[in-house]
Amino acid sequence: MGEAREVMDRITAALSETKDFKAAAECYSTDAVGVTPDQGEITGRDVIVEYLRQFSDSFPDLRYEYVAKHESGNVAIDEGYVIGTNTASLPLPSGESIPATGKQIRVRSCDVVTVEGGMATSHRFYFDQMEFLSQLGLAPETPS
């Protein structure tokens, strides 16, 4: 196992197993860049960890189910499912929030982390926002 895989595994364990956001923060460089489907590019260790904390707060039983783990050089990739129950409000990029739906999600996701000097410098999050909103019962209905 290389350095990129080790850092990615520590991030995932800190977020989905121990809910240790301090440990997660220690995996990112101070100027790390995150790219998210819902908030676009976010910059800085603290901003990335806050993004993840807010999501975790909205889904307290959040866990990650692996489909595959990959590593090539300084890049680690996780493919899997984000699973959890929405029991707290979900913050929106606008500053507003959506009340808890009480619904469970199981959304396919992919995370790509680039590591330099033992720290994640880039974390790209991929998930289908429409699938996410549909599973929460929040997607607009499509005409029949």
Closest CA to 135 of 102, 111, 92, 103: 103
Q: Domain boundaries in the chain?
A: 3-135
Task: Report the C-alpha gap between 107 and 32 in whole angstroms.
Answer: 25
Residue 144 has pLDDT above 70, yes or no: no
Instruction: Collapse the DSSP code of 89 into the 3-class scheme (helix H, G, I; strand E, B; otherwise coil) and give the result.
Output: coil
Taking domain 3-135, whether its CATH number is 3.30.2320.50 is answered by: no
Residue 143 has pLDDT above 90, yes or no: no
- The model's pLDDT over 55-89, given as tens digits with 9 standing for 90+, comes to 999 999 999 999 999 999 999 999 999 999 999 99
Confidence of residue 140 (pLDDT cuts 50, 70, 90): confident
Q: What integer best gives the mean pLDDT of the chain?
A: 94
Residue 49's CB is within 10 A of a number of other CB atoms, namely: 23
Confidence of residue 31 (pLDDT cuts 50, 70, 90): very high
pTM of the model: 0.91
Residue 106 pLDDT? 98
